[in-house]
Structure 1
């Protein structure tokens, strides 16, 4: 009986990266529940056995995918603020963050039945890990932008959280107006009012 080909570490990294990309696409297009390992493996051109040598379960892949997305998004926001240390740069980073949220509802809509189906299958340590400390991240973004707040950090953070929560009102807002134009206007107002 021929032996199975052994993946090199570089091959494993490449396959994992490809699977994370496919997982992100499927999560957006068809959600967690309707994404199957068989479908992911077919798209990645790997066997189901290879999948299980890399991930113990579908949830492990989804967990790694959301961690990757969160890290990528955080770096993008911080990079914008480091490169453009201004109110305009901070506003641009928030607008970029919002557009990412809009394109990936599972990043903010953690109470949806689909996300809950995923989250309930995770061990507690994984659940804690994907709950981003948003307040600490807000402070990092302000520091990266080299800006000074005019109000208490907790109040500024609360206003930003409320602003970002409008992602859940997309359908209602879109029926009456340009959803992104409204968000952009509110962001510009928010940024000019919280920073000196």
Structure 2
């Protein structure tokens, strides 16, 4: 492709860069998903990259928003197929498995992720954290379920459960089995149980 990019070229290249970035982030982590890797994957020069994005972090932020949107869409799809508490449990199980499959993308406390956050302006960090919190608040609000406890408490419990997926230490037990046990043990203390869930 020549040096001149049409609007269509720009949109296509950005889409390819987002896909390459998401794949690299999931498999290699933030640090190793560098501009050299991205430009090679997409087939553009470093100069062309900087015509599309001012920084690597600008692309990564776009990818984060894209992934958050995809997670939300998939969550709502699960809840539409299986409504009620069983659907919520199924969606939580799916999200937990996503976290386990891609810890480099979801482990917000890893040194790699901290390196990424340290590259961002403070307002971008706050915006990212708000978006992350908004995800669980949003799915709680749209679950159609009645909480027995406050939204803040429910958010804290579900966030803590999901966090166990990103723990790298081998504890000698199946994390998914423990997650399922804890979720089953707590979910009826978090939500009101209607007649449909008892049948």
- Shorter-chain TM-score bucket reads 0.7 to 0.9
In structure 1, the residue matched to 2:56 is 58
User: For the Cα contact (< 8 Å) 1:59–1:118, is it kept in 2?
Assistant: yes
Using the TM superposition, give the Cα deviation of residue 65 of structure 1 relative to its aligned residue in structure 2, in angstroms: 1.3
1:146 to 124, 144, 147: 144
Following the alignment from structure 2 to structure 1, what is the Cα–Cα distance between the partners of residues 87 and 134?
19
Query: Normalising by structure 2, what TM-score?
Result: 0.84
Counterpart residue number, 2:186: 190
Superposed CA offset, 1:149-179 (max 9, x none): 1223222222212211212335334xx2332
CA distance in 1, matches of 2:132, 2:187: 17
Tell me, which stretches of 5 or more residues in structure 2 are unaligned? Answer: 193-199
- Structure 1 length as normaliser, TM-score? 0.85
Query: What is the count of residue pairs matched by the alignment?
Result: 192
Contact 1:78 1:140 in 2 (8 A): no
Cross-structure match for 2:128: 130
The change in CA–CA distance for 1:43 and 1:109 in structure 2 (over 3 A counts) is same
Q: In structure 1, list runs of 5 or more residues that go unmatched.
A: none
Shift of 1:103: 2.5
2:24 maps to 26
Alignment of 1:157-168 (within 5 A): 157-168=155-166
Question: What whole-Å deviation, never above 9, does each CA across 1:119-172 have from its counterpart, x for those lacking one?
Answer: 111122221221135554333212322111122322222221221121233533
Task: Answer with 21-30 or 100-109: which moved more.
Answer: 100-109
User: Following the alignment from structure 2 to structure 1, what is the Cα–Cα distance between the partners of residues 180 and 130?
Assistant: 24
CA deviations 1:29-88 (Å, max 9, x no partner) are 222222221221111112222211111111111121122112211232233224432101
